[in-house]
Every structure is written in C-alpha cells, then in structure tokens.
Amino acid sequence: MSDIVIPADLLPADGRFGCGPSKVRPEQVARLQSSLDLLGTSHRQAPVKGLVRSVREGLAELFSLPDGYEVLLGNGGSTAFWDAAAFSLIERRSHHLTFGEFGAKFAKAAAAPWLEAPSVASSEPGSRPALEHVEGVDVVAYPHNETSTGVFHPVVRGQADALTVVDATSAAGGLAVDVAESDLYYFAPQKNFAADGGLWLALASPAAIERIERIGGSGRYIPEFLSLQQAVTNSRLDQTLNTPALATLLLLDEQIRWMLASGGLDAMAARTAESASTLYAWAEARAEATPFVADPAHRSDVVVTIDFDESVDAAALAKALRANGVVDTEPYRKLGRNQLRVATFAAIEPADVLQLTRCLDFLLER
C-alpha cells in the first residue's frame, strides 16, 4: 500500500498530525529568524527576561488567570515536573486517576520512599475512572487529556481538603478550562503551543504556592533542579534556575500571541472541536472504523483515536499516508491497537483534517 500515490488535490496543505512534537507554524519559524540577536545571549539579562515575562503575561491573559494565581516555569518538561511534585508538592499522600500512560507515570513518580503509597483509581484504556473522595490524601491528580488514548476528563476540583493538580500537557491551549477549578494546571509546550519540549509551565493557585513554600522550608531534602520553590522564586524574576532553550521560548511566545490575536482560548477550543468532530463523524460513517473512546462525553477534541476492524491494517494505512507526506498518525506505541491516532491541536487547520479523511477514503477504497 505504501506505493500508492494519493492525488494532490486530496492531500492536506500541511501533513503534520503528530501528538508531540507537534506541527510548528511557519510564522513561528520566522520569529526565530527575526530574533537572531536574542538567540545565544544570557538568560539573566533584560532581553531574555523580557521574553519570559511576555510568555507569562500572555498565558495569564489566555487563561484569564484568577486573582492570586501565578505562572511558573522550569526546565525538564512534564516528566521532570512529576518528580518535582513528589519532592515539593505532595505532603504525605496523593490520589491519582490513571486512564492511560501519562497519568500512570505521575502515579509512579508519586510512589516515592518519603511519601505514603499513593491511592490510584484506574480504568481500561479508552475509558476513565470516576473522581471520588479519598480520605487522607493532600493531592488529587489526573490528566485533562490523556495523550496516549484520546480520553478527556473535565477540570473540576477533586476534593476540598486536597490540592487539585491537573496534567494539561496535550490539553492546554486547545481545550476550554476554568483554571479556578484547579490548584496547579501544568503542561509542556510541544502540543497545542507548537513549540519544542524540555520546558514545563504551570498555573498555580495561592494554595499551591503556600504548599510549595511550606514543604520547601520543612527541611525535606529536595534537589535544586526539582525544587518548585526554586521555580517560584525564579519565575517571579522572569527566569529559570538553569539555562532554558531560547528557541522554545520564542516559538511558545509567538504561538501565544497568535492564539490571543485569533480570539483567545474559546477560539482555539472551537478549532479543535471542529477538527475532532470531523474525524469522529468520519469514523462513525465508515463500516470498518469506529472511535476508540466509546462514550462521546469522554472523547478528546485534541487527540482523536480511531480503531479499525481486522479487515484493515492500520499500520499499513499510516505507512501509506507517511509515504505521501501525511505523517505521525500511528497509534501510541505501548497501546498495541489496530488504530490511528491523530492530533487536532490548535495549530492544525480544520481544513487539513478534512483532507486527511479524504486521503483515508482514497486508501481504504484501494
């Protein structure tokens, strides 16, 4: 099938549909080209600190940040943040909803020897567990969007006596959210924000800041790189503990500017919803395909997973698409299903998603 040539009029204008790293818009690359005087300069000096300030202020505007909330950032991406949370945010014990790879990874990081064993509520891939009160926990954690499976969870407070900590890595900037329903809404910028990885950002409530500062002053051993207290201190100075990737900050800042100029978070959520509905409707209309997430209320608008019956080799479909310049539609590697996984992030044009369905029709007919 990989030798099939898809007609040019069926191909998307941009064939990048990966779930991260994601499509980077040409305007972001142009921003890099126009900022050569900034690349390779000190992150402790005013120009780069001004860039970090622009990112923080832009995110505050994009998410309509509630009074008292702060935008934090640090190096290392979401994986580093999970370890930082184990050191600096969880006081005794946490509760986790796991319904895919990334929620489970945070739960694993929270099984640290200085903490009590975490409570975990899990469900089969393609579904999500119920959010229920758990006694004796001080953090409740779950993904807003599970990147590995395409399952969505609304951002709502877990319980009054615990911080609500939400992994928004593939959701932030593409799904509507009331940040006030969480205490720490954290993400990396290589999804809807169309930047590179290696950075984490978080929208932190006063209660989260208080917890971070209290644990930071408690005498608990915390490596400096994984100290959220260091992240608070440095973010307030518009810098990071150690040298950040300036190109990532520039790509991120340009994407935030574009989002705000294009109508803000509501407009981005409308774009992703349009793209996702195109794919779900296509899958429901094809006899050999079906949305992997059975409950429509649980389906993501930013990561769409489509199962195929045994008459179709999804891997061959993905290979044929790739041969025609339509890339990164393969399923999550550990899920092991006969499916395609398609990002419908904010930067991806809904018209290109429609063209993707036409490419699939063309291939399936052959």
What is the pLDDT averaged over residues 114-134?
Answer: 97
Q: What is the pLDDT of residue 2?
A: 66
Q: What is the DSSP string of 168-234?
A: -TTTTTTS---GGG-SEEEE-SSSTT---SSEEEEEE-HHHHHHHHHHHTTT----GGG-HHHHHHH
pLDDT at 54: 98
- CA-to-CA distance for 1 and 6, rounded, in angstroms? 11
Per-residue pLDDT band at 205 (split at 50, 70, 90): very high
* Mean pLDDT along residues 202-209: 98
Mean pLDDT, the chain, rounded, equals 97
- Per-domain residue ranges of the chain: 8-24+265-365, 26-261
CATH number of 8-24+265-365: 3.90.1150.10
Strand ranges across the sheet with 119-122? 70-75, 199-204, 184-187, 163-167, 139-143, 94-98, 119-122
pLDDT at residue number 126? 95
Q: pLDDT digits over 208-259, tens only?
A: 999 999 999 999 999 999 999 999 999 999 999 999 999 999 999 999 999 9
Give the pair of three-digit tokens for residue 288: 């050999």
Answer yes or no: is pLDDT of 97 > 70: yes
The closest of 358, 172, 166, 175 to 276, measured between CA atoms, is: 175
pLDDT of 170-190, one tens digit each? 999 999 999 999 999 999 999
The pLDDT value recorded for residue 1 is 67
CATH C-level class of 26-261:
alpha beta
The whole model's pTM is what? Answer: 0.96
Range scoring the smallest mean pLDDT among 83-92, 168-177, 329-338: 329-338
Span 79-94, average pLDDT = 97
